[in-house]
Amino acid sequence: MSGLEPFGARLRRAMDERGPLCVGIDPHASLLTEWGLNDDVTGLERFSRTVVEAVADRVAVLKPQSAFFERFGSRGVAVLERTVREARAAGALVVMDAKRGDIGSTMAAYAESFLHPDAPLFSDALTVSPYLGYGSLSPAVALARESGTGLFVLALTSNPEGGEVQHAVRPDGRTVGATVLGHLALENAGEEPLGSFGAVVGATLGDLSSYDLDTGGPILAPGIGAQGATAADLPAVFGRAVRNVVPNVSRGVLRHGPDAVTLRDAADRFAEEIRTAVTPA
């Protein structure tokens, strides 16, 4: 459909060449204010363009949070379209953080919005929620395979509320989170060098040795920086899967704006710290 290599292969190469860092683009109101920008579409565009120009040519992944653009309506979505297009043109892979989840034709439409090559918001991967049942994601899985894109599925998130669902024990004795990870392992079976179907697992969760995180796909790991986790924590949290971890840093980088040079320097520091932490001695 798109002629792209599978997302997992493209991500593995980007991580090896640029380091395994994902920078979030989260233009919430307080951050716009910190940058001296108005909380309006003009401020949104200035913020997003600055981040892209500063780091899109050096980080593996950029992750715009769709909600912060959607809140401005169609003009905000237009800024998001340009942000995605310019980030990909500069060489970064774009993971759209939209956490979509539904059933049937609605899930198919969500997938087409972000994973169809003709879509204005076409991205390299999309975050999705499996909590209407993993099978509800089937339309997105199918389109991702067809278009060479990927999914990051919420599995073990860092928010305290997530545990009541993700750590719930099913009749077969497995937790819901472990069940999601098991589905991803099946999706990625036989894929080299990396599968295209990843999990979202918080870097702040501490000991996860009771979970098999090695699904053959990437792990998007929020929590580095402002949420309290550090690059040095990654091996202990993710164990043998650490080489496939894509740590997400948002405020830890973005608070250094609006100066592009300091943004770039912050991204470089995080990338090097993470590369050092996840590379075997």
- SS3 call for 215: coil
Tens-place pLDDT, residues 117-146: 999 999 999 999 999 999 999 999 999 999
The DSSP output letter for 124 is: S
| Contact call for residues 215 and 260 (beta carbons, < 8 A) | no
Checking 32-39 for CB contacts under 8 A at 24+ apart, the result is 34/255, 34/257, 35/257, 35/258, 36/258, 37/258
> How is residue 172 written in tokens?
């077969």
How far, in Å, CA of 54 to CA of 71, rounded?
A: 24
pLDDT in tens, 177-198: 999 999 999 999 999 999 999 9
For the entire predicted model, the pTM comes to 0.97
Query: What is the pLDDT at residue 229?
Result: 86
Map out the domains of the chain as residue ranges: 7-234+246-274
Residues tagged active-site: 99
pLDDT of amino acid 228: 79
Separation in Å, CA 46 to CA 52, 78, 91? 10, 13, 20
Q: Token pair for residue 171? A: 């009749």
4 and 148 Cβ atoms separated by less than 8 Å? yes
Smallest CA-to-CA distance from 151 within 116, 117, 111 is with 111
Whether residue 281 is predicted with pLDDT greater than 90 in this model: the reply is no
Tokens of 29: 């109101």
Q: 10-52, pLDDT tens digit by residue?
A: 999 999 999 999 999 999 999 999 999 999 999 999 999 999 9
pLDDT at residue 2 greater than cutoff 70: no
- Percent with pLDDT over 70 in the chain: 99
- Higher model confidence: residue 43 or residue 228? 43
Q: Which CATH class is domain 7-234+246-274?
A: alpha beta
pLDDT, residue 226, reads 67
Q: How far apart are CA 190 and CA 193, in angstroms?
A: 9
